[in-house]
Structure 1
Amino acid sequence: MDFKTFVFYVLAVIMVFAGLRVITARNPVHAALFLVLSFFSAGGIWLLLAAEFLAVVLVMVYVGAVMVLFLFVVMMLDINLDRLRQGFWSYLPVGALIGVLLVVEMALVLGGRYFGLEAMPEPPAAQAGYSNTRELGRLLYTDYVYPFELASLLLLVAMIVAVTLTLRKRKGVRYLNPSEQISIKRGDRVELISMPAEKE
């Protein structure tokens, strides 16, 4: 086993362990931190696959921005853990079935040659001056521009929902309503009074 394969297996074991801890950790903050660890491990695996841009984007965007947002939302919401755990075991059969299907799919993909299936051919060697970042950008902004824009809209909606969930309305707090301010007419605020001039 060469060093690259050894690093892949180490990162894969860490990522699987972190993924399991994401769904089994009792504390939501701990689960979010284990998700950060799994993102870092996935970024390392992408580096092994010579996809440097995807690895850097995964760490910068998901760990640096999305996970910080998750942590803020988790810490600001009053999550009742006891209520969340009610009926947890009722979902076990469906979760176990999906887990078994995922294991079977991964075994077929990774160990296809051992089951008599034809293995995927090795990708051709990269030519001189080839940049996977340039190729990814070309595909994103030509062939997949509409799915890319749809994904950005979904992220925008998710951000608005996160802000709305953390919004608290307090009683007795004075605030300004911009729509009422704009709809005010001059006659509602200014009253002209005609008074006779005083004589000495």
Structure 2
Amino acid sequence: MQKNAKRQSIVETATQLFAQHGYHAVGTDRIIDESGVAKMTLFRNFPTKNDLISEVLSQRAQSALSSLASMVASKRTALERIEAVFEWHEQWFTSRDFSGCMFTGALAEFQSESSEITRIATVQKANLRLFIQNLLLDLVPAPSIALLARQIVMLLDGATMSAVAGDHENAAHEAHAAAMSLILSLQAPPAAAAKASRASSEQKKTS
């Protein structure tokens, strides 16, 4: 096995173990055994366990956002793209290896530490909010976008916890319904929007 392949094997094995059992519960000896590498190989690539956790989270954040973006990009309208965010989560919730959010887990286990681990987990949440903000640009007034994106991420986090508790089938659908209620509450009624548009046109004519 080549050097890079061995390194990636360690990361993939650690990802599975950390996702299923948590970070503190999994020791380096178990990762070594299940990845089939020598102890020297592990510590040459990752001098500390925290270095390995940081790499696991970095790769997970990149792959998850890439997968989500790919699914969203296949949709035509703004509302369909928002719905795709929840569809992606539903597919995740009902997958065989679903065991909850690794970033929320990292924040819970390392909350007392100011470390690279908590930084990566925090940045992942911030990047998800930014991703959703961009999806909301054509749906709600600009001043409402940042708050609504935070609320949608909170709905997704809550849905993830519900799925962990066993509600795999309904969590994402119900979170999407709640998100749509928030979006519709911020959209101008069609009549009001048309009236505002006419008023703006008349003002331009008289100015």
- What TM-score, normalized to structure 1? 0.26
Larger radius of gyration: 1
The structure in which a higher percent of residues are helix is 2
Which structure exhibits the higher relative contact order, with contacts defined as CA atoms closer than 8 Å and separated by 6 or more residues? 2
